[in-house]
Amino acid sequence: MRLLLGFLAALLTTAGLAAPAAAAESRPVHSYADAIRETAWVETGTDHDRDGRPDRIAADVIRPDTRERVPVILDVSPYYACCGRGNEAQKKTYAPDGTPQQFPLFLDNYFVPRGYAVVLADVGGTNRSSGCFDDVGSGNAVVNWLGGRAKAFDAPDGGRPVTAGWATGDVGAIGKSQDGATAIGMAASGVTGLKTIVPIEGVANNYAQLIANGAPLATPENTGSAFTYNERAAELCKPFEADVKARAGASGDYNAYWESVNYTPRPGQASVLIAQGFGDWAVTANQFAGYWAALGRAGVPRKAWLSQAGHTDPFDLQRALWVETLHRWFDRWLLGLHNGVEREPAVHLETAPEQWTDVRSWPPATLPATLRPSAGGTLGLTGSGTASVVDDPAVTREEWAAGVSAARFTGPPLPAPVRIAGSPSVTITASSDKTAARLGVALVDYGPAETRNTAFYGSGVRNLATRSCWGASGAVDSACFLDTATDVVRVDHRIVAAGWADLGHHASLRHGEPLVPGRAYTMTFDLTALDHVVPAGHRLGLLLGGTDGLLFDPALPNFGNTLTFDLARTSVTLGLTKPEH
């Protein structure tokens, strides 16, 4: 009988009919209630707070009680004490003896039973860490400790050595916003052991996040992360923060410091699952677009979730599918289970509220179209005349769209729907009656629509009163989270892309210059990336203005200038294609 079964198995295999193997997937076989909870204070090798002792990063660990070594899901954040994580602003909590109790979000509840450790680390100077805000250095120190290459102790000062003999050394870094930016920076550093990252609405180019083409978005006093510091760091890190600000400069010039924190040109080799909302005005989609392209050029395995939402987590968009995707992604890159996730369509794309599709690549192939404004308020293939705008920093781009403090130009009604995808660019020729000028540009879809509510930094989702559970709950750490729904509004227009710049940086981002009043300068820069379908009957609009009151810090200097645009030498170039659906 054994020979017969072997013969049949060989025959089926030869004929290509062998039964497929069961899908590889980690299972919840470990007890969450019995999970080990502990804290390791990891030395970074730096003394940023200048107290004469090595800085230590507090890494709170929850791991299955098993003799097998396990991989680690790591979230490095400054927000565990000051602001919280997720829609419910969950913070870390501790037992009276300091043992970590609540681990924010669902990662511990879901993944610890499946054979992963979850480590939530406090950025230097925040919560229970010493040192100052060196986010990438903080995260890399923890990765090195997990791989046996850094020291850690069981107390913030002194204490006994702690090793991570329970860890395989393979790490996946995840996080939203600042946490996602940290993960991107860690990948760029090439730290050994970091196998994958999952940045959600994360910054890849810190210069572009804080300076819009030469135009600082805030005063030096209102930038940075000092608001996240613990009481000790708030005092000790003043020299560190002053040094960072000095290296960054206040001119808006792109310099060696900004180059060091621009991770786009050097994405590293860790695989990337990235999420971005095209309606996110806090971390705009141009951060994603440049980084995504760089990943492709570097041959890095990549997958993206692209929504029409604002600054929100996919967990609050398609919860079940996101958890499944994240599960399979970590299984593939941290456990080495060959589940085929990297061979599936690379992009999960929301084309309209709650309408999703899977595509092989992004952006799609498009045809470039260049549109030009004319003095009569039209937008077409040719441009002519001039338009003048008195800059008013109190007026927002949403008010520009209604014709306040900006020049507005609209095209004819579209005879058929058109998809605009990728990163539009604008070329502006303008003069100022003062020696400095900010530029603001917006692309608008004029027409009635039902859309996610993302104007004025809306997330496009809202919390419900019900809860759903994702993993195992403990007495002080529930796996149940508020459900969400799409926050939809009826609008008569939608700003779908925007961009900002300092006209004094027209020749180079590295060297700005005072303007000669009345002299025309030409500057080209990208708008925020988008993937948007303009329906038939809608009009495409272009807004030309100055300081955007929704973006720039009111404490910045008010130039009080008048901008005059040379419309014949001003244009916007879009990538157009037919809608797929």
Q: For residue 220, what pLDDT is reported?
A: 85
Is residue 279 domain-shared with residue 234, that is, in the same domain? yes
Domain annotation covers residue 100 = yes
Is residue 501 domain-shared with residue 541, that is, in the same domain? yes
> How many structural domains is the chain composed of?
2
Q: For 147-300, where are the alpha helices, taking DSSP H only? A: 178-189, 206-210, 231-236, 238-248, 256-260, 285-298
Whole-angstrom distance, CA of residue 307 vs CA of residue 336: 29
Burial class of residue 354, CB neighbours in 10 A (0-12, 13-18, 19+): middle
Is residue 345 domain-shared with residue 466, that is, in the same domain? no
Domain annotation covers residue 18 = no
Q: Find the distance separating the first CA and the last CA of the chain, reported in whole Å.
A: 56
So which residues are the catalytic ones? 177, 280, 311
Residues in the chain: 581
Q: For residue 17, what pLDDT is reported?
A: 31
What amino acid is encoded at 175 in this protein? G
Domain annotation covers residue 224 = yes
Domain annotation covers residue 422 = yes
Is residue 291 domain-shared with residue 318, that is, in the same domain? yes
The residue among 308, 325, 359 that closes a domain is: 359
Is residue 406 domain-shared with residue 509, that is, in the same domain? yes
Domain annotation covers residue 546 = yes
264 close to 286: Cβ distance less than 8 angstroms: no
- CB neighbour burial string for 427-442, b if at least 16 within 10 angstroms, e if fewer: ebbbbbbeebbbbbbb
Is residue 332 domain-shared with residue 377, that is, in the same domain? no
Q: Any idea what the CATH number is for the domain that residue 487 is in?
A: 2.60.120.260
Q: For residue 581, what pLDDT is reported?
A: 63
* Residue entry with tokens 């390791």: 40
Report residue 100: phi and psi, to 5°.
Answer: -65, 140
* Residue entry with tokens 């001039």: 386
The residue among 359, 381, 413 that closes a domain is: 359
- CB neighbour burial string for 229-255, b if at least 16 within 10 angstroms, e if fewer: bbeebeebbeebbeebeeebeeebbbb
pLDDT in tens, 458-515: 999 999 999 999 999 999 999 999 999 999 999 999 999 999 999 999 999 999 999 9
The residue among 306, 336, 359 that closes a domain is: 359
> Tokens at residue 174, please?
């995840």
Q: For residue 238, what pLDDT is reported?
A: 96
Is residue 203 domain-shared with residue 321, that is, in the same domain? yes
Q: Which domain holds residue 181?
A: 36-359
Instruction: Please list the ranges in the chain whose pLDDT falls under 50.
Output: 1-22
Is residue 175 domain-shared with residue 93, that is, in the same domain? yes
Is residue 318 domain-shared with residue 371, that is, in the same domain? no
Per DSSP, which regions of 17-84 are E strands? 36-43, 56-63, 70-77
Is residue 291 domain-shared with residue 377, that is, in the same domain? no
Is residue 372 domain-shared with residue 336, that is, in the same domain? no
Q: Any idea what the CATH number is for the domain that residue 190 is in?
A: 3.40.50.1820
Is residue 217 domain-shared with residue 326, that is, in the same domain? yes
- DSSP letter, residue 94: B
How many CB atoms within 10 Å of residue 563? Answer: 26
Domain annotation covers residue 19 = no
Domain annotation covers residue 12 = no
Burial class of residue 98, CB neighbours in 10 A (0-12, 13-18, 19+): middle
146 close to 171: Cβ distance less than 8 angstroms: yes
Q: For residue 21, what pLDDT is reported?
A: 40
Per DSSP, which regions of 132-286 are E strands? 152-153, 167-176, 194-200, 211-212, 215-216, 271-277
Domain annotation covers residue 27 = no
Q: Which residues pair with 467 in a beta bridge?
A: 482
Whole-angstrom distance, CA of residue 506 vs CA of residue 214: 9
**324 Cβ partners below 8 Å, 6+ apart?**
none
Whole-angstrom distance, CA of residue 196 vs CA of residue 556: 39
